[in-house]
């Protein structure tokens, strides 16, 4: 009876009833998922049904092992890792960024990205790790993780140009614990701290931003927004853009909200008066608050553009920091002034510009910029009189020592920093060359190895010395001083290169400094080697944050049970796709 009832149910689904043989092997051949609902085996030739059944049975009898996808991912990871390791080993110096992140599964991860130049002066950036953190995020633990990751990639600390991190104290301690001597704080994080501090303490700006958010909430109603769009199209023959959604952790989102409100203010006012007899005009900011928002935009729009430029990963960024800090510093002789307004893009929504800027002393654009520069100077160029804050001062001066070398070695910015910066850079670079091998020796070795290899290369070098000795002996017999023909000391050659470098014209800012150095490496061999070391340093920790954007695609709320190892493999492969092998 049970079998007959079961057959009726299967017939209702359009499926053939099971035979006694099929019932005995129901775990294997009873797979009904190969047919769509409403179909039956009589809808197709018997041979086709038989072939389909046999292939399905075979696949079920020999299922794919559960570990096969993991093994394939592991194989792909290992192959890609070998490729990236070969690139790393070929580089003379590497710069790194690191940051911490919490996933949807509430697990902490620490990222590590590397940045270096290849033999053709092309900047390469790769993701090395996104390691699960199993302890509290203390500086000591971060230091142990960083050391382990550097050792995993066989990174010699003497070849590390610098680490770029956010302003967290745990990151500072972690980098020190890992044994890294040069540490750069993220420009974007420092700007964010400065602007957040100013907005928090400026009551009039707080009130203006709150009003802008109230207006945005009013327009979030589909009914109100639909009527507003129809009104603007009918009266102004234009289509308004929506006001952006807020984000508490991104200061520039409030800037974009303010821009949108100011640009559409004329439309918004007229619409508010006509919509339902003006009873919602309380949601519209008054002219005084619009003046506050305009001052806010004028002061910080250039800063946002500068942060966007420094967030790049395919070009030199650390060399921007000092020139950009001076550019927005009203107290600097290199202040950009009204020219900073050209950094912003014209707003095509703006129908008029009759409202003046706020006359509130707190909202003078230069006052706002000074408050931001105060935070930048603390991190990147602290005043020697502020040394009473021992840790911050020492960290800031160490960062400044890196930045002056980066900016001086960037031919675009060598004249866009102060004279005291150039003098400091020359002094520090002179100390650096005392620990480096003479470039001429390296160049000879590279040229020799290019034409010979192994034991032949050693023989060629020996022949070169014999012929050189013979030529020197010949000219000495003619009364020439051989001692005078010996190459000058490294320091003398370095000073001569500094003079040549200083006399060369600066290229345009949009040009590639790496291509410039590639073209001038023969005439400036010592400085070019230093440029390879310092220009690869990043000005922000954005590369590590991009790793977490990929991590958010890998670890989602519907896929949050991945082990830390598998999550790292998937993130690593996703970020390094162009280095992945193609399997047959």
Query: If you average pLDDT over residues 533-548, what whole number do you get?
Result: 95
Per-residue pLDDT, averaged over 416-422, amounts to 96
Mean pLDDT of 131-137: 93
Q: What is the mean pLDDT of the chain?
A: 83
Residue 408 near residue 430 (C-beta atoms within 8 A): no
Q: What is the pLDDT confidence band of residue 42, given thresholds at 50, 70 and 90? A: very low
Instruction: Give the residue-averaged pLDDT of 161-179.
Output: 95
Percent of the chain with pLDDT over 70: 76
pLDDT at 476: 47
Q: Quick one: pLDDT at residue 45?
A: 42
Q: Tell me the C-alpha distance between 397 and 384, whole Å.
A: 9
Tell me 556's DSSP state.
B
Closest CA to 187 of 274, 309, 13: 309
Q: Is the pLDDT confidence value at 477 over 90?
A: no
With 60 as the cut, is the pLDDT of residue 34 above it?
no
Residue 59's pLDDT is: 43
Q: Is the pLDDT assigned to residue 578 strictly greater than 70?
A: yes
Q: Which tokens belong to 447?
A: 């040229």
Poorest-pLDDT segment among 9-18, 395-404, 436-445: 9-18
Q: Check pLDDT > 60 for residue 176.
A: yes
pLDDT beyond 70 at 64: no
What the block records as the tokens of 446 is: 């590279």
Q: Which of 418, 408, 403 is nearest to 527 (CA)?
A: 408
pLDDT tens-digit series, residues 264-304: 999 999 999 999 888 899 999 999 999 999 999 999 999 99
Dist CA 318 CA 184 (whole Å)? 9
Q: Tokens 């927005």 label which residue? A: 328
Classify residue 137 by its DSSP letter.
Answer: -
Pick from 61-65, 165-169, 260-264, 362-366: least confident:
61-65
Q: Percent of the chain at pLDDT above 90?
A: 64
Residue boundaries of the structural domains of the chain = 69-185+541-579, 191-379, 381-435+487-538
DSSP helix/strand/coil, 496: helix
**Model confidence at 495: pLDDT above 60:** yes
Is 70 exceeded by the pLDDT of residue 453? no
Tell me: pLDDT of 47 over 60. Answer: no
Looking at per-residue pLDDT, the higher value among 81 and 48 belongs to: 81
pLDDT for position 366:
95
What average pLDDT does this structure show over 96-101?
Answer: 96
Q: Which two tokens stand for residue 466?
A: 């014999």
Q: Rounded CA gap, 458 and 369, in Å? A: 61
Least confident among 333-342, 343-352, 443-452 = 443-452
**What SS3 state is found at 183?**
strand
Q: Does domain 69-185+541-579 have CATH number 1.10.10?
A: no
pLDDT above 60 (res 567)? yes
Report residue 353's pLDDT band, with 50, 70 and 90 as the boundaries. low
CA–CA distance, 475 with 482 (Å, rounded to integer)? 8
Name residues whose C-beta falls within 8 Å of residue 261's C-beta, 6 or more positions apart in sequence.
Answer: 212, 215, 216, 243, 268, 285, 290, 293
Integer Cα distance of 344 and 18 in angstroms: 73
* Res. 564 pLDDT band, cuts 50 70 90: confident
């Amino acid at each position: 009876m049970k079998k007959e009832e079961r057959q009726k149910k299967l017939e209702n689904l359009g499926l053939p009833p099971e035979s006694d043989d099929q019932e005995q092997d129901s775990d294997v051949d009873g797979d009904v998922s190969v047919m769509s609902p409403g179909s039956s085996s009589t809808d197709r030739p018997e041979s086709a049904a038989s072939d389909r059944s046999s292939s399905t049975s075979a696949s079920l009898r020999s299922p794919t092992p559960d570990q096969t996808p993991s093994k394939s991912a592991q194989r792909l990871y290992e192959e890609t890792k070998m490729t990236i390791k070969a690139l790393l080993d070929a580089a003379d110096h590497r710069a790194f960024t690191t940051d911490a992140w919490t996933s949807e599964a509430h697990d902490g991860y620490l990222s590590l990205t590397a940045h270096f130049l290849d033999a053709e002066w092309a900047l390469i950036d790769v993701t090395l790790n996104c390691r699960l953190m199993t302890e509290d995020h203390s500086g000591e633990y971060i230091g142990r993780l960083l050391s382990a990751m550097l050792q995993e990639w066989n990174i010699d600390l003497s070849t590390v140009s610098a680490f770029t991190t956010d302003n967290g104290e745990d990151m500072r301690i972690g980098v020190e614990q890992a044994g890294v001597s040069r540490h750069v704080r993220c420009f974007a994080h420092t700007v964010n701290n400065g602007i957040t501090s100013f907005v928090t303490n400026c009551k009039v700006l707080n009130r203006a931003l709150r009003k802008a958010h109230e207006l945005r909430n009013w327009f979030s109603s589909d009914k109100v927004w639909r009527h507003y769009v129809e009104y603007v199209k009918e009266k102004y023959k234009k289509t308004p853009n929506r006001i952006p959604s807020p984000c508490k952790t991104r200061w520039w989102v409030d800037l974009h909200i303010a821009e949108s409100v100011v640009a559409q203010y004329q439309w918004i006012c007229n619409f508010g008066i006509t919509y339902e007899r003006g009873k919602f005009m309380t949601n519209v900011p008054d002219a005084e608050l619009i003046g506050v928002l305009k001052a806010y935009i004028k002061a910080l729009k250039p800063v946002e553009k500068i942060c966007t430029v420094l967030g790049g990963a395919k070009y030199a960024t650390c060399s921007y920091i000092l020139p950009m800090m001076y550019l927005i510093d009203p107290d600097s002789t290199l202040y950009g002034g009204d020219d900073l307004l050209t950094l912003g893009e014209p707003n095509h929504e703006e129908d008029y510009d009759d409202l003046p800027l706020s006359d509130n002393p707190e909202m003078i654009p230069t006052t706002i910029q000074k408050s931001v520069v105060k935070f930048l100077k603390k991190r990147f160029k602290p005043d020697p009189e502020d040394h009473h804050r021992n840790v911050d001062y020492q960290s800031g001066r160490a960062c400044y020592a890196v930045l002056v070398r980066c900016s001086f070695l960037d031919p675009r910015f060598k004249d866009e920093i102060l004279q005291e910066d150039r003098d400091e850079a020359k002094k520090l670079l002179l100390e650096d060359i005392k620990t480096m091998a003479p470039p001429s020796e390296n160049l000879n070795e590279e040229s020799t190895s290019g034409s010979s290899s192994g034991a032949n290369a050693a023989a060629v070098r020996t022949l070169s010395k014999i012929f050189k000795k013979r030529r020197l002996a010949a000219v000495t017999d003619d009364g020439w001083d051989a001692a005078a023909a010996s190459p000058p000391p490294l320091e003398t050659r370095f000073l001569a290169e500094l003079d040549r470098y200083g006399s060369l014209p600066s290229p345009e800012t949009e040009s590639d400094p790496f291509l410039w150095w590639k073209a001038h490496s023969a005439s400036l061999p010592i400085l070019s080697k230093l440029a390879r070391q310092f220009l690869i340093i990043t000005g922000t920790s954005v590369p590590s944050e991009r790793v977490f954007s990929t991590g958010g695609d890998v670890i989602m709320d519907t896929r949050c049970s991945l082990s830390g190892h598998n999550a790292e493999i998937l993130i690593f492969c996703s970020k390094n796709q162009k280095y992945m092998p193609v399997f047959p």
